[in-house]
Amino acid sequence: MIGVFFNCIPLQAAERFSVQFDGMLIPISIKELSDWSKGEGDNNSELASWLNLLGFESRAGLAKVLQAPLIKDKSMARQLLRSWVGRKLLDEVSDLIRLDDDRTGKRVFNTLESLLDSQSEVTTLDLLKALPAETIHLDLDEWVNLASRWRNELKSQQKLVSDLRSIPSLPRNSAVPKKQFEKFQEPSVHKISIDVSHRSEPLNLEVWEPSVWTYKRSSWILFMPGLGGDQEHFQWLSKRLSSQGWSVVVLEHPGSDSKAVQALLEGSLPAPGAEVLPERLSDLQAVLRARDLGDLKVSGKKLVLMGHSLGSLTAFLSAGASPQPNLRDRCQKALDDLSLTNLSELLQCQMVEVKMPSKKEIPNLEAIVAINSFGSLLWPSSSTAKLNIPVFLIGGTFDLITPAISEQLGLLLATQANPISRALLVEGASHFSPVRVEGQKDQKKGDDLFQLGEALVGLKPISVQSILATEIVRFLDTLERSKEIGLSVNQITNESMKFYILDRSTAANILGD
């Protein structure tokens, strides 16, 4: 699909662009624009007047915009542009920036590719000068509309925090279960490999078993990391769960793990997306088959599926939740709005083009624990996910990839009503708060591939992980005793972290359903 782009590039670069603003069409020469930003133009020129009208009252302000690098790493940029998500973003941006009458985004892609052949960084001005068209049309009116939609979406997330804080506090009616052992001993962890027919190499599993002194639970846990995630990122949770008596098996997903992200950064492979779901589902089935055959030995009769982000979606799909009809239509509307406050919509929409494997029933499936899950476009209304097992959905109020208000709360309503199902929301937590990376202890930034600063990881990630581990243990313990988990709102930890446990009714009230 990418190769056909290269045969349609006009040799002549654009000399001007036309800006649509407040119903007016403003013609601007690209050369004059470049000269003016460098201080070579007349402050009293017609161009200066137009730029002032558009909000660029100083040369420095315009120069900062035009000379800021759009692309800093050309190898990674190439692979991002060639991915499904990159192409889809270019398609949508082409409605805002149009070359003559071309709305496909192909010329923009080709121009970026050409520039990356000759220079390591590409600025906005570089792109404007090189775009092959007689006129570049910039629709500022639509940009304003887009910005307005983004603001409204951010306001809705801010309102969620206000709504959560306004719920009357409820006391807890269940204590955190104490460790049940006669003599403390660390859980054991080892790795095994199993042969799988859908991959060229064996699949590696990380297996956590409770110590011989620990009370054994009736269920075992199969955990699936998210896109770019590794087994090591969730050892904090595996250790806590196995110390409480659960056997935990953590999957590896080659092609969508941290090695795949490293390959993207090095420019050797495109960014992975929803196309990895069929292999991930086959990975899960391979683990279940290995246990049935005795190649994987873990204690526990019932199964709890657990995952982060795309791992959570894998759990829902494997449990039998099929996307509702007309996904393509819902995606067209979502992509037209070009939301950057819910990036999971891009992955959900890519599923229109992904052929999913046939469903296989999972026997003895007891529950799903989904961390930063998503599915608002797949299951857009109440009870459409058609899952009749308890779910525990976990999210944060600082998550712009799978925002809690549309994804976790919406997904809770999309599942079948169950008295044990709950949603856990943590104030200040982001999509990456559950990912513990090397060197991140003591609330510090990690020093491995995932060097996540506060802008991405949110506040106090180690504290967030502590809340998650405690509440997951509480949920699983309640599930094992077949008791209804209590509501718990406006809970505050010793480190002043606020979190909320919500049921279906409370989620519906917040969403106005």
Work out the pLDDT band at 296, boundaries 50, 70, 90. very high
141's CB contacts (< 8 A; 6+ apart) are 20, 21, 22, 23
Q: Is the pLDDT of residue 22 over 90?
A: no
Q: What is the pTM of this model?
A: 0.80
Cα 50 to Cα 68: distance, rounded to the nearest angstrom: 21
What pLDDT band is residue 2 in, cutting at 50, 70 and 90? Answer: very low
Question: Is pLDDT of 3 > 50?
Answer: no
| pLDDT at residue 182 is higher than 50 | no
CB-CB contact of 207 with 190 (8 Å): yes
pLDDT-based confidence at residue 180 (cuts at 50, 70, 90)? very low
Cα angle for residues 258, 263, 268 (degrees, 5° grid): 165
Q: What is the percent of the chain with per-residue pLDDT over 70, rounded to a whole number? A: 69
Give the full edge-to-edge strand order of the sheet including 24-29.
Answer: 24-29, 16-21, 135-139, 97-99
Residue-wise pLDDT for 318-345, tens only, equals 999 999 999 999 998 887 776 666 889 9
For the chain, which residues make up each domain, given as ranges? Answer: 3-143, 167-511
Tell me the fold of 167-511: Rossmann fold (3.40.50)
Question: Which backbone phi and psi does 486 adopt, to 5 degrees?
Answer: -75, 155
Q: Where does 184-322 have alpha helices with state H? A: 235-243, 258-266, 277-293, 310-318
* More confident site: 400 or 364: 364
- pLDDT of 268 reads 64
Least confident interval from 270-279, 392-401, 482-491: 482-491
Model confidence over 97-125: pLDDT tens digits? 777 777 666 777 778 778 877 877 777 77
Q: What tens digit of pLDDT does each residue of 420-463 get? A: 999 999 999 999 899 987 665 554 555 444 445 555 667 788 99
